[in-house]
Structure 1
Amino acid sequence: MELRQLRYFVAIVDHGSLSRAALVLHVAQPALTQQLRQLEEELGVQLLHRSAQGVLNTDAGKVFYEHAQAILKQVADAQAAVVQSAERPSGSVTLGLPHSISDALALPLLTAIRQRYPEITLQLTEEITGSLAEQLRAGRINLAVLFDDGQLGSFAATPLVEEELRFICRADAPAADGHDSLTLRDALDTTLILPGLQHGVRPRIESTARAAGLATHGVIEINSIAILKSAILAGMGATILPVAPVQAEVERGAMRALAIHDPAIARTVVLCTSRNIPLTNAAAAVSRLVVQVAHDLCAAGHWIGARKV
């Protein structure tokens, strides 16, 4: 198996046909077809379904595509690590952010990268935490912001902030009438709209409730932050989230963010890297900058409900 075969296969999948991939790669289509056939023969499986409309991955092809992408990224990172200067790091770095963190961290980080390291191309991907952990483990991303749930032992983790979760509701909701806080029991007694268990915030809510002898019930599950906010504004219920994803709505008076007590709910936000895949100079520089930007946001009060740890 050769690296060029992996590049050819990924290009065919990305462009949806052998002919388009051949044009992009500047390779004759018969040669591309031959390399694909040799790859399938070596693996002993069919990777693609071919038709007049193009190509589609088989189940085996879907698995192989993810591994091929990861291998090609690690090769590119290895090449970059050899030529990069520690003083002027350059190259591409991919950072994964959970949906509930990106509003607080993404734009300040992009601004800081452009100012500090103009030769680094930062690629941000926004995913659920379970998907980010899987991508980091496979080497498809360089860094990921995750939540310390006690199961991050396979990663090198640097604590960033401790983030408070609050009860978020429409400004005219009865729970918000004349109150700045409420108990966790009262919060759980309302109709809650929460992300699914694959999101980092939900397991934290469930574990805190169990420890207090409480439980969620009748939860409406919505995994999109945008749709979740629309549902709150439509009066369908409230949620328990950090303030960052709804800060704009709170500031314009459309929503309220009430503190939760007896007990409070918080989560530790950490920056994770692989223990097995070395960081390039560029990725190491981004890693340091993520920590600095997070701490600066806390110090300036711009990351509401978060404190440096």
Structure 2
Amino acid sequence: MELRQLRYFVAIVDHGSLSRAARVLHIAQPALTQQVRQLEEELEAQLLHRSAQGVIATDAGKTFYEHAQAILKQVTDAKSAVAQSNDKPSGTVALGIPQSVSGALALPLLTAIRATYPEITLLLTEELTGNLIVQLKSGRINLAVLFDDGQLSPFASTPMVEEEMMYITRANSQYGAVKKKTVTLAQAIKAPLILPGLQHGVRPRIENIVRSHGMSLDNVIEINSVAILKSAILADIGATILPVAPLLSEIERGDMVALPISGERMARTLALCASKNIPLTNAAAAVERLVLDVTDDLCRSGKWLHAEGLARE
């Protein structure tokens, strides 16, 4: 198996066509087809399904595509690590962040990167926590912001921030707590709760806290998209328990109301994680330091609402 075969295969899947991939790669289509055939023979699996409309990856091809992307990225990182200067890091760094964190962190981080390291290209990936863990393990991303649920031992992790989770409803909602400044946990879980799925880091935290009080979540509407979750809350389909960051603009406009949950410290801890097995390039290490600095600044200034920066060794 050769690196060029991996590049050829990834290009075919990305373009959905052997002819288009051949043009981009500047290779004759018969030669490209032969390379794919050799790859399939070596793997003893069909990687592509060919039709009049183009080509798509088979199930085996989809699995191989993920590994091929990770391998090619690590090769690129290795070349960058050799060529980079400690004084002026450059190259591409892939950072994964959960959907519910991007509203607070993404724009300030992009601004800081452009000002501090103009020669670094930052690729931001917004995903569910479970997907970020898979991508970080495989090397497809260099760094990831993950929820510290006590299971981050496979990674090199640095504490970032602790966010308070609050009970959030539409303004004047039927599920709102009228003229109250707080709600109890028992009151909060009476409403239909719109929550992310269990593969999202915040959901297991809520489930564990509710169970520790001898209660259960019996009326959950599961939505993994922040945009759809917002629409559901504004339609008064239910309430949610989340940090305020992903819903901040709606809360500041007065479209939503966020109340602390009394009697129980409901919070989630975020950590910045890297692989223990794949060394960081100089550029990735620079981004790692900058993420922590930006997080601390946002917490100190109060721009990351109901969030507290965590001490580090």
TM-score range, shorter chain: over 0.9
Higher mean alpha-carbon deviation, 49-58 vs 257-266, is at 49-58
Q: Tell me the alpha carbon deviations over residues 133-161 of structure 1, each in whole angstroms, 9 at most, x when there is no partner.
A: 01000101000000001111100110000
8 Å Cα contact 2:129-2:146 kept in structure 1: yes
1:123 aligns with 2:97: no
Structure 1 match to 2:240? 239
Distance in 2 between residues matched to 1:101 and 1:276, nearest whole Å? 26
Q: Tell me the alpha carbon deviations over residues 89-138 of structure 1, each in whole angstroms, 9 at most, x when there is no partner.
A: 00000100101100000000000000000000000010000000010001
Distance in 2 between residues matched to 1:104 and 1:269, nearest whole Å? 13
Q: Which amino acid counterpart does residue 172 of structure 1 have in structure 2?
A: N
Alignment of 1:269-288 (within 5 A): 269-288=270-289
Structure 1 match to 2:7? 7
Q: Tell me the alpha carbon deviations over residues 270-293 of structure 1, each in whole angstroms, 9 at most, x when there is no partner.
A: 000000000000000000000010
Identity across matched positions, percent = 69
8 Å Cα contact 1:143-1:287 kept in structure 2: yes
8 Å Cα contact 1:90-1:117 kept in structure 2: yes
| Misfit runs of 4+, over 2 Å | 173-176
8 Å Cα contact 1:191-1:219 kept in structure 2: yes
Q: Please give the secondary structure, in 2, of the residue aligned with 1:176.
A: coil
Distance in 1 between residues matched to 2:28 and 2:242, nearest whole Å? 53
Structure 2 match to 1:149? 149
Gaps of 5+ in 1: none
Distance in 2 between residues matched to 1:233 and 1:58, nearest whole Å? 40
Gaps of 5+ in 2: none
Shift of 1:218: 1.1
Distance in 2 between residues matched to 1:305 and 1:119, nearest whole Å? 33
Aligned-pair Cα RMSD in Å: 0.9
1:258 aligns with 2:259: yes
Normalised to the residue count of structure 2, the TM-score between the two structures is: 0.97
Structure 2 match to 1:20? 20
Distance in 1 between residues matched to 2:213 and 2:156, nearest whole Å? 31
1:49 aligns with 2:16: no
Distance in 1 between residues matched to 2:194 and 2:112, nearest whole Å? 34
Distance in 1 between residues matched to 2:107 and 2:55, nearest whole Å? 37
Q: Please give the secondary structure, in 2, of the residue aligned with 1:108.
A: helix
Q: Tell me the alpha carbon deviations over residues 159-185 of structure 1, each in whole angstroms, 9 at most, x when there is no partner.
A: 000110000011112533211111111
Shift of 1:52: 2.1
Structure 2 match to 1:172? 172
Q: Please give the secondary structure, in 1, of the residue aligned with 2:165.
A: strand
Q: Tell me the alpha carbon deviations over residues 175-222 of structure 1, each in whole angstroms, 9 at most, x when there is no partner.
A: 332111111111111121111111111111001111122211111111
Q: How many residues align?
A: 309
Distance in 2 between residues matched to 1:42 and 1:221, nearest whole Å? 42
Structure 1 match to 2:111? 111
8 Å Cα contact 1:212-1:263 kept in structure 2: no
Q: Which amino acid counterpart does residue 226 of structure 1 have in structure 2?
A: A
Structure 1 match to 2:191? 190
Q: Tell me the alpha carbon deviations over residues 207-244 of structure 1, each in whole angstroms, 9 at most, x when there is no partner.
A: 11111222111111111111111111111111000001
Q: Please give the secondary structure, in 2, of the residue aligned with 1:125.
A: strand
Structure 2 match to 1:30? 30
8 Å Cα contact 1:96-1:141 kept in structure 2: yes
Distance in 1 between residues matched to 2:297 and 2:126, nearest whole Å? 22
Distance in 1 between residues matched to 2:243 and 2:130, nearest whole Å? 18
Structure 2 match to 1:216? 217
Structure 1 match to 2:88? 88
